[in-house]
Amino acid sequence: MNIVLTGSIGNIGKPLTKELVDKGHSVTVISSNKERKAAIEALGAKAAIGSMFDPDFLTETFTGADVVYLMETMEAAGDLFDKNVDFIEKISEIGHHYKTAVERSGVKKIIHLSSIGAHTDRGTGIIVFHYHVEQILKQLPNDVAIKFIRPVGIYFNMFSFINTIKNKGAIISNWGGDKKEPWVSPLDIAGVVAEEIEKPFEGRTVRYVASDVVSPNEIAKTLGEAIGKPNLEWKVISDEELLKNWLDIGFNEQVAKGFVETQASQGSGVVYEDYYQNQPVLGKVKLADFAKEFAAAYQNDEA
């Protein structure tokens, strides 16, 4: 098949591209960074360099594709420390450009990488942009089949713990404890997307993706042991204190408030309401596997 992937070759895009190429598909990867061209081609894919804010470029690239994989990130919308960016609005703009390009190009099969929490626009914080993009794509004609893939919290988000572990001696957030919650590896996300690309498309469907189910305290124990700090703690502070910390280091206010609310929704379980009604079979990559990556990143950060 002729497959077009947005999102360049990051944590999910790289293994996804490799798997699809290995299966014999013709893959085109969209990237806004021309310096990624050689790396994309080294994987056996074609590189399409352009902007997700350019519907003409997207239309041209989507034309002739059997399946298009759509994703959007906050980084694509701007610098998280830029006080003037409305990230939710900018990402919705990307969603509208996707919709326009799909309509103009005639593509009939879409996979959209969304997120846990995309079932609602209430109480999920900054990730509400996934809800908005899903709603935009649902406005496409009924003959466009869409598979919405909703991963839970991704392991690589834990790399943000490294700074507080080094500076404060603990993982610090506004939720914690022994209540288990799902996490996912980007490798398992890529595997699910690759699987769904090859399965029949019909109507609009939702599939959640998760790899392991662990509590914050279990995460602290597992990561702590991996980095040689077996007594590492996950400390809980108030929403207000966490927000102040993030604003003090210069985060965009919308981003800071949004992340605080998102993490609070993990603690309350609001973000998981629909997930628990539609739980997937867990993937292969467990927290213990990721802990090895975390330890390597932690050590490299000391170099």
Residues forming a β-bridge with 184: 154
**Regions of the chain short of the pLDDT cut 50:** 303
Q: What is the pLDDT of residues 47-75, one digit of tens each?
A: 999 999 999 999 999 999 999 999 998 88
Rounded-to-5 percentages of helix, strand, coil across the chain:
50, 15, 35
The CA dihedral of 157, 158, 161, 166, to the nearest 10 degrees, is: -120
pTM of the model: 0.96
Q: What is the DSSP string of 102-164?
A: HHHHT--EEEEE--TTTT-SSS-GGGHHHHHHHHHHTTS-TTSEEEEEEE-EEGGGGGGHHHH
**Residue 100 CB contacts under 8 Å (≥ 6 apart), including other chains:** 55, 58, 59
Give the angle 216-209-70 at the CA atoms, nearest 5°.
120
Domain ranges across the chain = 2-154+184-210
Give me the helix-helix angle, 253-268 and 87-105, nearest 10°: 80
- Count helices and strands (H / E) in the chain: 12, 12
- CATH top-level class of 2-154+184-210: alpha beta
pLDDT of residue 302: 56
Contacts 24+ apart (CB under 8 A), 40-48: 40/8, 40/9, 43/9, 43/14, 43/17, 43/18, 44/18, 45/5, 45/17, 45/21, 48/4
First and final CA of the chain: distance in angstroms?
44
